[in-house]
Amino acid sequence: MKLPVISGKEVVKILCNKFDFKVLDQTGSHVILFSERDGVKRKPVVPQHPELAKGTLLSILKQAGLTRDDLEQALK
């Protein structure tokens, strides 16, 4: 799957609505999310850029414990 061009705001919305993350804090333009699933605490940091770089998006997915396929399913 080719990664979509997506904004930080959209990523926060997807993680909160589809994967039960909660906004924990915001420092400047970076939103810190939190989720505890399967006994694992995760705190991905999402910059509020209009377009996230591919590497940044992959890093956010890794921090959140998600895959490209999870993102693809959430976007459908």
Indicate the Cα dihedral angle 44, 47, 49, 52, nearest 10°. -40
Q: Which CATH number fits domain 8-75: 3.40.50.2000, 3.30.920.30, 3.40.47.10, 3.30.70.580?
A: 3.30.920.30
* Angle made by CA atoms 58, 26, 14, in degrees to the nearest 5: 45
Predicted confidence at residue 1, as pLDDT, reads 66
pTM over 0.85: yes
- The domain ranges of the chain are 8-75
Element (H, E) at 69: helix 68-75
Predicted confidence at residue 17, as pLDDT, reads 96
- Asked if 44 and 21 count as a contact pair (C-beta separation under 8 A), the reply is yes
Is residue 11's pLDDT more than 90?
yes
pLDDT in tens, 14-60: 999 999 999 999 999 999 999 998 899 999 999 999 999 999 999 99
Predicted confidence at residue 38, as pLDDT, reads 84
